[in-house]
Amino acid sequence: MKKIAFFNNKGGVGKTTFAFHIGYMLEKLGKRVLFVDLDPQCNLTAHILNDEEIDKVWSDSGSSIYDAVEPIISGSGDVKFFSPHKLENRDVWLYAGDLLLSDYEGLLSEAWTQVLAGQERGYRASSAITRLVNLASSDLDIDYVIFDVGPNFGALNRAVLLDCDNIFVPMVPDLFSLRGSQNLGRVLSEWIRVYSDAMRRVGDLQFDVPHGKPKFSGYVLQQFNNYRNRKTKAWDRWGQQVPEYINKYVVIPLGTSGVLKLANYQLGEFKNYHSLIPMAQDAQKPIYELTSQDGVVGGHHEYVKNCNNEFRELALKFIEIVD
**Measured on CA atoms in the order 134, 140, 145, 151, is the torsion positive or negative?**
negative
Report how far residue 75's alpha carbon sits from residue 70's, in angstroms, rounded to the nearest whole number.
Answer: 8
**pLDDT for the residue 231:** 59
Nearest 5 degrees, angle CA 160-CA 131-CA 199? Answer: 65
Kindly report the number of other CB atoms within 10 A of residue 313's CB atom.
12
Above 70 in pLDDT, residue 316?
Answer: yes
* Residue 297 contacts residue 63 (beta carbons within 8 Å): no
**pLDDT for the residue 227:** 45
**Measured on CA atoms in the order 266, 267, 273, 278, is the torsion positive or negative?**
negative
Reduced to 3 states (helix: H, G, I; strand: E, B; else coil), residue 147 is strand
Nearest to 214 by CA among 197, 194, 189: 189
Contacts of 133 (CB under 8 A, 6+ apart): 3, 34, 36, 95, 145
User: pTM for the complete prediction?
Assistant: 0.93
Q: Each residue of 175-192: pLDDT tens digit?
A: 887 887 889 999 999 999
**pLDDT for the residue 223:** 64
173 or 250, which is more confident: 250
Share above pLDDT 70 across residues of the chain, in percent, rounded to a whole number:
96
Report how far residue 158's alpha carbon sits from residue 153's, in angstroms, rounded to the nearest whole number.
Answer: 7
Q: Each residue of 134-181: pLDDT tens digit?
A: 999 999 999 999 999 999 999 999 999 999 999 999 888 778 878 878
Report how far apart the first and last C-alpha atoms of the chain are (Å, whole number): 10
pLDDT confidence of 44, banded at 50, 70, 90? very high
Share above pLDDT 90 across residues of the chain, in percent, rounded to a whole number:
71
